[in-house]
Structure 1
Amino acid sequence: MSHVLITGANGFVGRALSGALLRGGHATTGLIRQRGGCLTGTQEWVHTGKNYAGLAEAWPAALQVDCVVHLAARVHVMQDVASDPLAEFRATNVDGTLRVARTARAKGVRRMVFVSSIKAIAEADAGRPLREDAPSRPQDPYGQSKYEAEQALIQYGNESGLEIVIVRPPLVYGPGVRANFLRLMTAISKGLPLPLGAIRAKRSLVYVENLADALVHCVTEPRAGGQCFHVADGDDLTVTELAQSLARHLQAPARLLPVPSGWLRLAGRLTGRSAQINRLIGSLQVDTSHIRTVLGWRPPYSTDQGLAATARWYRATH
């Protein structure tokens, strides 16, 4: 069994991954900034150095790790108040990531799994599901920083011998989800009318437990070394279908107004929210055939099962 160090182990994906690894008999250590929040059974290591400054010096002498899964990041935000957002994203998502990689290699770690984002290559699929070798055209500082981190890790891995595995999930949902997905559930549960009844474009999603299962494969499978994988549920839905399914599981009415996409785009331009509207109504499907072929991975849960679990959590906690 492996000993896995997880950055951000007390976060949304980190807790799911810790649980999957522990159930598989692996040892887990969480590298976190504030104590608390890790699953029982995960050893906590608190390091407060900004962007992992001083990580090598702080590494516990007794800590021997086989693989690092790097989840911690400066995440995408809708209204970024930083004076230079790209510089802030680079400091954390590129420089900080490389600092983790270099420290891991110096401490004898053999593999690093980097959880990137589909935003590292695109915001839309241009008519066909995105493969791992699609041209990279990130559209915002977050996506740009994730793409640059991927490239820096690949170069470092080639130079040092550290095995790099890159995973690009689309939108991740599940119990504990935040941001836009949580706001959508809140609006539906309150019975609010939403202009989502006529959206035909499909978007890939990944249930957090499916992502965790895929990451376990990336940690443990020898064939994963040096690979890049897109991971998704495989049951791609339109936003209309997503809202209808959530309403059913939330036991709430689906009050979806059939507003044409053109009208939504116009509203986006008039309100300065074109990027948000385009993400809502545009097609973004990912091709997961590579991880299925190389690692034999199949998502253990369907999208409907994932949405049902997410709705149960919401009803129990809100």
Structure 2
Amino acid sequence: MQIKILGASGFVGRHLGRYLSLHDADVYGISLRENDTWKSQLIDDGDVIINLVGKAHDHDRRATENDYFHTNLNLTQDIFRVFCSSNATLFIHISSLAAIEEFESEKALGEENDCRPVSWYGQSKREAEKWLLAQEVPEGKKLIILRPPMIHGPGDKGNLGLLYKFVSKGLPYPLSKFNNRRSFISITNLCYLIEQIIEKSDLLESGIYHVADDEPMATNEIIDIIKLVTEKSSIKMDIPKWLIKLVAKSGDYFSFVPLNTNRLKKMTSTLLVSNQKIKDALGIDKLPLTAREGMEKTIQSFVVNKR
């Protein structure tokens, strides 16, 4: 089987390419930076196209609304049009949980829940979903849209890195007042699900599917894992929530402050996701790694790379 990955040089793309190659697939990474040559590369022989292209992180805070919509919507439209003309029969588009909810849900979100994106990232991802779902998928082809929550694993550059730096250095952890649970997905479980989708695509209907670990995790549980793996002790500071929120607010205006409002919400709010639809469709009982096993694997990679 020949699989073509757009965005193969990114965090997910590197892991997914290796994973699928180990499962006897011919994997080709395609770059959109090569002007329009990527279009001819997609039209050539191939069975599956996976779109990982997307703009999520804005570490320099310079991205505009147009930057997000160009990458997450316009490029997705271009890629899907080429898919429709190609020999590929399966198009897997990686969207985001941010397309439905970005900060908080005490109830595990299903695919049928109302969408409430807030940021340019979430809004652009949702607009791409709506556009794709409105298209007529050619006969014999299938469209699968995946919505993952925070993805983590070796090489991860997300919010887990900030948490790890606090705890691994023995610094007092200032967010212990917040008691929350969140759904994550380890890169191992995500790669496994994508491989299963490719293998069993005949069992799936075109549409949106949530992907997540089987269990949510509390931030305090992640802290305990970091302490266990690094053999470091960290004092949990009893700082009032109002003061933490004030510091985060200042981070919205000053980039040298390591915490901002959005990052605080993502680290301290409860956001749960149900993965039952995709598991039922594929006949999966349990994912390869528990949420804790996946998190331990990620934290161990931080230690090895001395993050």
Give the corresponding residue for 2:269: 282
Task: Tell me which residue corresponds to 2:292.
Answer: 304
Give the secondary-structure state (helix, strand or coil) at the position aligned to 1:160: coil
Q: Is the 8 A contact 1:4 1:68 kept in 2?
A: yes
Q: SS in structure 1 opposite 2:272? A: coil
- More deviation in 197-206 or 262-271? 262-271
Deviation, 1:130, is: 0.8
Looking at structure 2, the residues matched to 180 and 87 of structure 1 have their Cα atoms a distance apart, in angstroms, of 25
Gaps of 5+ in 1: 34-46
User: Are the counterparts in 1 of residues 159 and 267 from structure 2 also a CA contact under 8 Å?
Assistant: no
- Residue 48 in structure 1 maps to residue 34 in structure 2: yes
Aligned twin of 2:257: none
Q: For residue 31 of structure 2, what is the aligned residue in structure 1?
A: 32
Q: Does 1:74 align with 2:55?
A: yes
Per the alignment, in what secondary structure is the counterpart of residue 71 of structure 2? helix
Shift of 1:260: 4.4
Correspondence for 2:182:
203
CA contact (8 A) 2:30 2:41 kept: no
* Kept after mapping to 1: 8 A contact 2:42/2:83: no
Identical columns (%):
24
1:314 match = 302
Change (3 A) 1:191 1:315: same
Summarize the alignment of residues 1-318 of structure 1 with structure 2, pairs less than 5 Å apart: 2-32=1-31, 47-49=33-35, 53=36, 55-56=38-39, 58-59=40-41, 63-77=44-58, 80-82=61-63, 85-156=64-135, 158-161=136-139, 162-221=141-200, 222-269=202-249, 272=252, 273-297=260-284, 298-318=286-306
Q: Aligned with 2:159: secondary structure?
A: helix
The alignment covers a number of residue pairs equal to: 296
TM-score, length of structure 1 as denominator length: 0.86
Query: In the alignment, is the contact (CA less than 8 A) between 2:101 and 2:116 conserved in 1?
Result: yes
Deviations 1:102-138 (A, max 9, x none): 1122122111101111001112343311111111110
Q: CA deviation at 1:60?
A: 7.3
Assess, with a 3 A threshold, how the Cα gap between structure 1 residues 48 and 187 changes in structure 2: closer, same or farther: farther
Scaled by the length of structure 2, the TM-score of the pair is 0.89
SS at match of 2:5: strand
Structure-2 separation of matches of 1:291 and 1:261: 37
**Cα deviation code 1:140-185 (max 9, x no counterpart):** 00111111111111222x2534411011111111111113222222
Q: Distance in 2 between matches of 1:239 and 1:263?
A: 19
Q: Which amino acid aligns with 2:34?
A: T
Whole-angstrom CA distance in 1 between matches of 2:263 and 2:159: 10
Write the distance in 1 (CA, Å) between the matches of 2:279 and 2:238. 36
- Change beyond 3 A, Cα 1:261–1:232: farther
Matched-pair contact (CA < 8 Å) for 1:119–1:138 = yes
Ranges in structure 2 where 5+ consecutive residues have no aligned partner:
253-259
Q: 1:262 to 1:126 in 2, by over 3 A?
A: farther
Let me know the Cα RMSD of the aligned residues: 2.1
Question: Secondary structure of the equivalent of 2:29?
Answer: strand
Cα pair 1:55 1:103 within 8 Å, conserved: no
Tell me which moved more, 166-175 or 20-29: 20-29
CA distance in 1, matches of 2:230, 2:213: 20
* Deviation, structure 1 residue 21: 1.4
